Chain A
Amino acid sequence: MSRRAQENLVALVVLGVFIVAIVMAFDYGQRARMVPLPIALIGVVLTLWQLVWQNIRPADELNIDLLEVLTRREGEAVARNVSSNFDEQSAHQKRQAAGRESVACGMVLLLLGLVWVIGLLPGVFLFMLGYFLLSDHYSLPRALSYSLGLVVALYLLFVQGLGIALYHGWLEEWIRNL
């Protein structure tokens, strides 16, 4: 997907969120919708404006917008460089970056799943150990001692020190109810 297509997709999703917010606001009483409704309307106007604007500009100026042209704001150079570099990257690089992005997403979701099923501290421990080993950064003994060390530190801080009962996981609940 080109940068412009991605930008359009993002703007359309945001537009969708604002429209849903407007539709839902009509279910609320007059006072309850007094602030959200106009704010969401402003959001729609801004997003439409942004959508139109980003499609009539040349690709390398994708990150400068009308307001900036009007006010001639300085210091937008960094952002522009980033985006203009983007389309110059080779297809291979782009694929690689997209791949890493999916892995990053998958990684936090995996940690969430682990925590949900087997509880906070065991989930965190397994995740760290797995991460250290799969990234080939540490040998098994070091990976084990680092992850164990951090989990023990977390246990001491939160459970012993602060007296917070941490989540035990769905699995424990399930076994208890058997």
Chain B
Amino acid sequence: MIDAIVAGLAALMTPQAMVFMFIGVIYGLVIGILPGLGGVVAMALLLPFTHGFEVAATLALLLGAHIATIWGSSVTGILFNVPGAAKSLTSCFDGYPMTKQGQATRALGASATGALLGGILGAIFLAVSIPLVRPIMLALGPSEYLMMALWGLTIIATFSEGSLMKGLIASVLGILIAFIGMDPVTATPRYTFDILYLMEGISFPVAMIGLFAVAEMMKLYVKGGSIVDRQMTEERSTVWQGVRDAFVHRWLIVRSSLLGVWIGVLPGVGATVGGLAAYAQAVQTSKTPERFGKGAVEGVIAPDATVGANEGGGLMPTLAFGIPGGEGMAILLVAFIGLGVVPGPDMLTKNLDLVFSMVWIIVIANIFVTIIGLGVAPYLARLPALHANLMVPAVLAVCFVGAYATRGQIEDVAMAVAFGILGYLMDKYHYSRANLVIGMVLAIMIERNLHLSLTLYGSDFLLERPVAAAMLAFIIVTTALPFVRRWWKRRKLAAAGGRA
């Protein structure tokens, strides 16, 4: 195995591979920053240019681009409340409040370091847990995925923005929006009003562009000035604060990375849910959960670590079973076959050096991203201070083009506008936008896996799936924990007050 680790690294140490990785990283950063476009698009667009180059270089280009989109997507979420892709949704939750408090540079630094450490830890966990991957993948199924989605749902309580009741109403609305379109489980068009455009559902990136970006620009127009008024709130943080934050919360990063690897390993869960689950985990294990959603740096670090680690895990279904785990892997698979490598369990024996090449690419690309990120963060952090009269039209322009580019449908631009107005109203009347989006992401996963569990194991599926039952118990306990803690704290305070 040591041989393979060394050989994997050596294969990358060619000028071509390094240059390719660097190009991939820069390209991935740009794609990540553009709203609506994520890692899969980045890789798909690069694919035609990979013919005829060495294996390591090709993989470095594709994987490097994929890795770089993670931080790229978080950047706009932190600075403008505009997540660059679905998986960085959570960067809006605490990153944007940090920007408003003059902590943008720190948030960017924390995000980059979180993704770096997540990526590295993820790669290490992956290497260590290769023998465990197959049994665990075989042990978990739809019922367990259902519990994972329910766990993600528990963070709704965090985003009450002053009203828990309205927060719940917003998530119900989000769940129902997710049901618009052709239901693949029952082949029933639901809530489509016979409009063909609605048949394939509301595109998630488009809804996010509307809810967050367009709504935020409308808000900025109404308010005037800039997102961050530098006369009121000085940007006084540094990237090093962010780096330090990441190391201070090292156990959070370890937990989040582990979570990320396993979510990546399981086909049918996905990085977006992974980010939400990481956030839920950060809230639940925090001693001060009430700070979340208002600029808690842990809320930035944990999801980025998970999404970073997720990449390594995503390689596993392909390596262990020869089946592509997600869209991104499906594209890598095409590249593999083009390179004459047949993915499958053979990879773990005969082509182990290639596997470690990929692990190394994840690590090195993350280091590239972090170095670039830490370097440019202070400059990026100045952007939110730009005047509204420049910001509003420019951001709207980019968002409109981005909304169109996600699926190439002009109706998507109209949908982004509709969601923009919805987002503005929700913000004004304190119905949490984050909750609506969480409902949207998890609804389909919950519905699908509920149907699968019922069809495969019957209505008492929890009895048949002890792991799922244990997960449910865990969810109930961890959700109740913050409430119990608070109650305990208050009781102690009251007791102390009584004595004094």
Contacts and interface: CB of A to CB of B under 8 A. Distances in A.
Direct chain A–B contact by Cβ atoms under 8 Å:
yes
A12 to B, nearest CB: 12
A7 interface: yes
A32 B183 contact: yes
Contact of A29 (B168, B188, B398): B188
B186 interface: yes
A171 interface: no
A45 B398 CA distance: 40
A90 B294 CA distance: 29
Nearest to A154: B401
B429 A7 contact: yes
Closest 9 CB pairs of A and B: A79-B162, A137-B389, A43-B172, A32-B188, A104-B218, A131-B393, A65-B165, A32-B186, A124-B397
A43 B173 contact: yes
Given A64-B163, A166-B401, A150 B190 contact: no
A167 B290 contact: no
B494 to A, nearest CB: 12
A103 B424 CA distance: 13
B382 interface: no
A5 interface: no
Interface stretch (B64-72, B368-376, B446-454): B446-454
Contacts of A28: 186, 188, 190
A67 B165 contact: yes
Nearest to A165: B408
B410 interface: yes
Interface string B393-407: 110111011001100
Which of A21, A34, A103, A137 has the most chain B CB atoms closer than 10 A to its own CB? A21
Given A35-B446, A43-B173, A111 B188 contact: no
B393 A128 contact: yes
A25 B387 CA distance: 47
23 contacts: A6-B429, A10-B429, A24-B190, A28-B186, A28-B188, A34-B450, A40-B172, A43-B172, A46-B165, A46-B168, A64-B163, A74-B290, A76-B160, A76-B162, A79-B430, A97-B222, A105-B424, A111-B396, A115-B410, A115-B413, A116-B414, A158-B405, A166-B404
Nearest to A169: B410
Contacts of A166: 401, 404-405
Contact of A131 (B175, B387, B389): B389
A39 to B, nearest CB: 5
B222 A104 contact: yes
A65 B163 contact: yes
Given A74-B290, A79-B430, A111 B483 contact: no
Nearest to B396: A111
Contacts of B401: 120-121, 124, 154, 158, 166
Given A35-B446, A46-B165, A131-B393, A108 B417 contact: yes
Interface residue SS majority, chain A: helix
Contacts of B222: 97, 100-101, 104
A80 B390 contact: no
A14 B31 CA distance: 36
A140 interface: no
Interface residues of A, number: 79
A66 B34 CA distance: 41
B169 A46 contact: yes
Contacts of B408: 164-165
B430 A67 contact: no
Contacts of B186: 28-29, 31-32
B2 interface: no
Interface in B174-210: 175-176, 179, 183, 185-186, 188, 190-191
Contacts of A66: 165
Given A67-B164, A73-B164, A74-B290, A154 B188 contact: no
B218 A163 contact: no
Contacts of B166: 50, 65
B392 interface: yes
A65 B167 CA distance: 11
Interface in B125-158: none
A163 B163 contact: no
A71 B290 CA distance: 13
A53 B393 contact: no
A172 interface: no
B448 to A, nearest CB: 10
Given A79-B162, A116-B414, A166-B401, 19 more contacts: A35-B450, A39-B175, A39-B443, A40-B176, A43-B176, A65-B164, A65-B166, A67-B164, A74-B486, A79-B163, A103-B221, A104-B218, A115-B400, A115-B413, A120-B404, A121-B401, A128-B394, A135-B389, A146-B390
A32 B405 CA distance: 31
B420 interface: yes
B430 A36 contact: no
A165 B222 CA distance: 34
A127 B417 CA distance: 15
Given A108-B218, A154-B401, A32 B393 contact: no
Interface string B414-431: 100100110011000111
A43 B439 CA distance: 12
Interface in B248-290: 290
Nearest to B48: A163
A75 B290 contact: yes
